[in-house]
Structure 1
Amino acid sequence: MKTVFITGTSSGIGKAAAKLFQSKGWRVIATMRNPEKETELNLLENIILLPLDVTRPEQIKYTVAKAYSLAEIDVVINNAGYGLLSSLEAFTDENIVRQIDTNFLGTIRVTKAFIPHFREAQKGMFINVTSIGGHTGFPFTSVYNGTKWAVEGWSECLSIELSLFNIGVKTVAPSATKTELFSHNADVNPLPFYQATEQKMLSVINPSSTPEEIADVIYEAATDNKDQLRYFAGKGSQAIYDRRMQVGAENSRREIKAMYFDALKDSH
């Protein structure tokens, strides 16, 4: 039986991935900050819940060691994420640091903890959940998107580096998905200079993909045996990336600026 280790499984894409891998006959080590509060995954056979906050290096070491005491890990899915949607000017230092610490540094920490095990076994795979926002720019998500750009670039470097030991690295970039990712926006106090525009921007965003659709692509990446780095998931993700490649980065930036802000002007 193969084993997958997944971060951020309390909701959304992480929970959907845990349920999908379990249904396919995998053992799932599902991690979250407060596993004692979980009421669904703990009822499923071959799912093991472990505590993990990816911003706590000592807990990462403990949880990875605990996971290996239970099973040999085949795939690690770095899914834990934290996002805020607002102007950069409105973010406190804590707002900025938490996004970077969770999305980028947390992914690095978890990966680094697993590499020695994978290197010794001469096999293993990391799948990093990023975002279409890690390939193009959108307003009011500068720090979040910045972390996802960072994970994409870092993953590409690492995919080359770890190929020395037959270790795979892949990224899955979802489009806007029906999750609780930006449900923390109460942590930000929007500034009056941007507030009306931000509100209209939120009305333009339409999360149309489901966590289950993204989980399907994650499972594909884990099992297709392809030497492929990037996978696009959800409605619109591949099309947005393809358009950027077609017109180039500068024209893509101009198009997105027009798409969002012209729509906002028209809505006045």
Structure 2
Amino acid sequence: MKQTVLVTGASSGIGQAAVRLFAGKGWNVVATMRNPERDADFAGLDDVLVARLDVEDQASIQSAIAAGIERFGRIDALVNNAGYGQYGLFEALPREVIQRQFDVNVFGVMDVTRAVLPHFRANRSGVVLNVSSGAGLFTLPLISLYCASKFALEGFSEALSYELASQNITVKLVIPHGGVAATRFSERSAEDFVTDPALADYDDFVARSNAAFAQMGSARTMTSADVAEVIFGAVTDGTDRLRYLVGDDARGFVKARRTLDDADYVEFMRSHFRKQTPAQ
């Protein structure tokens, strides 16, 4: 029997690449997105059901899951991919913006996962795969909210994995790091960058940080398809492995987080954004 995966945030980037890969490998796919009438682009793919799912809309979550089960009989895996990165100085961010970052990246993942768990428990099987980020392992300035949301996702997923193992349900994290080239994610983050002219005290720091980000971004070589391959492998490898990193650690952030003591790690990270003293 063909297996079925439900993918959130399937309109572009990693989600879209995952839909195409799973479909190409013979899976049934429930490709979900906020605006399917505008964003769906899966012509020619067999056994792909496009459904509306907004992670901030409980009714749409329930409806999409029910539609997938009705069409394909069951759902075997959930890929929680929907999310975005809120950029901006923390002091400039209004509370409603902070709330929405968590509503999408954390509470949305929780809501979709909770909605599908009764079906997985009834089947005594299932895979919940959450797309995380290097920003859930290390932190960077100007994306404090995104980092906080991904740290929360990491902690939630790890703890949940212990609970769901008792039900023969596996939880996995795929962690892209080093940046994914040519995705809508970066464009949306730039569009959503929050500034405040009253916070001119930060101007030099913001300029340095943006320059550092530009340098990091220019080295991106990983594609959405690369991440989708890791997602597919994680869903299908039959193991209970929790974390799968994918990306180029040329900047050394992951290595620093994993190998340095806390003081040395923080100093290493700060060095990328500190004002440089001219050589004498």
TM over 0.5: yes
| SS class of match (1:145) | helix
**Matches of 1:237 and 1:142, distance apart in 2:** 22
Q: Letter of the 1:28 partner, please give it.
A: V
Q: How big is each residue's C-alpha offset from its partner over 1:226-258, in whole Å with a ceiling of 9 and x where there is no partner? A: 121011012229963333111133322221111
Structure 1 segments of 4 or more deviating over 6 A?
Answer: none
Q: TM-score if structure 1 supplies the norm length?
A: 0.92
Give the CA RMSD over aligned residues.
1.9
C-alpha displacement of 1:53: 0.5
**Gaps (5+ residues) in structure 2?**
none
1:186 matched to 2:187? The reply is: no
- Asked if the contact 1:130/1:173 (under 8 Å) is kept, the reply is yes
Q: 1:92 aligns with which of 75, 91, 94?
A: 94
- Whether the 8 Å contact between 2:17 and 2:225 is mirrored in structure 1 is yes
Q: Does 1:243 align with 2:256?
A: yes
Q: Please say if 1:76 is aligned against 2:87.
A: no
Decide whether aligned partners of structure 1 residues 11 and 113 sit closer, same or farther in structure 2, where only a CA change above 3 A counts.
same
Q: Secondary structure at the match of 2:173?
A: strand
Deviation at 1:18, TM superposition (A): 0.6
Q: Which runs of 5+ in 1 are unaligned?
A: none
Give the CA deviation at 1:39: 5.1
Kept after mapping to 2: 8 A contact 1:8/1:80: yes
Residue 140 of structure 2 corresponds to which residue in structure 1? 138
Q: Give the TM-score taking structure 2 as reference length.
A: 0.89
Percent sequence identity is 35
Q: Distance in 1 between matches of 2:123 and 2:81?
A: 23
**Bigger radius of gyration among the two:** 2
Change in CA separation of 1:42 and 1:134 when aligned onto 2, cut-off 3 Å = same
How far does residue 21 in structure 1 lie from its aligned partner after superposition? 0.7
Residue 46 of structure 1: how far off its partner (Å): 1.5
- The answer on whether the counterparts of 2:12 and 2:184 sit within 8 Å (CA) in structure 1 is yes
Report the Cα offset of residue 183 of structure 1: 2.1
Q: Is the 8 A contact 1:17 1:215 kept in 2?
A: yes
Displacement of 1:139 in angstroms is 1.1
Q: How far, CA to CA, are the matches of 1:55 and 1:237 in structure 2?
A: 36
- Equivalent residue pairs, number: 265
Instruction: List aligned pairs for 1:53-64, cutoff 5 A.
Output: 53-64=54-65
Alpha-carbon shift at residue 134 of structure 1 (Å): 0.2
Q: For structure 1, which segment, 251-260 or 159-168, has the greater mean C-alpha deviation from structure 2 after superposition? A: 251-260
Which residue in 2 is equivalent to 1:225? Answer: 238
